[in-house]
Amino acid sequence: MAEERLILTSDEMRRALTRIAHEIVESNKGLEGLMLVGVRRRGVPLARRIADAIASFENASVPVGALDINLYRDDLTSRPQPLVRPTEMPVGIEGKAVVLVDDVLFTGRTVRSALDALMDLGRPRIVQLAVLVDRGHHEFPIRADFVGKNVPTSLDEIVEVRVTEIDGTEEVALVERVKAAPA
């Protein structure tokens, strides 16, 4: 069994997302043209959490989209094939202030793919990035505008963000990578 350490409890996760929600509204000076786009899979429920938080203190709703980046990956021939899911945008992204939402910022490759995927849908006015956990080891000149928690990690660790809709619990854990798992 893998070693596991809790980084964020469900309450801490909720507070971090609420703070990010406030920062997004503050930095964009309101909700005008604002749109949240979650990166599938776990970015989508997180984007909804942030939109709910904004709705609770601003009394207005922000559109939430879901972006699948698998067709835009740079490692499509070097790893087992990811399942492609639909991209869903409730409104066009043209001219919008788009906040990409993902669970973990690691190498930055997902974000790079997400930017490509986004550009194929239109030309947003500005794109910002919100992540629940920034774990370091970036491999691209990409940083997050809104961060829930910075977590120093080693490459042997995995940051697991768990959300109720997919995992049945709400928490973030640091897990030791299991080496040479038998088939």
- Answer yes or no whether residue 136 interacts with another protein by CB under 8 A: no
Which of residues 78, 90, 141, 168 is near another protein by CB under 8 A?
78
Cα–chain center distance at 82: 17
Q: For residue 87, state whether it binds another protein (rule: CB under 8 A).
A: yes
Least distance CB 33 / another protein (angstroms): 20
Please give the Cα distance from 129 to 6 (Å, whole number): 24
- Asked if 63 is part of the footprint of another protein (rule: CB under 8 A), the reply reads no
**What tokens appear for 53 in the block?**
């938080």
d(CA 95, CA 90): 15
* 138 forms part of the interface with another protein (CB under 8 A): no
Q: Which of residues 25-44 bind another protein (CB under 8 A)?
A: 39-42
The tokens for 29 are 């000076």
Q: Which stretch binds another protein (CB under 8 A): 5-13, 21-29, 49-57, 66-74?
A: 66-74
If residue 56 lies in a helix (H) or strand (E), which one and from where to where?
Answer: helix 43-58
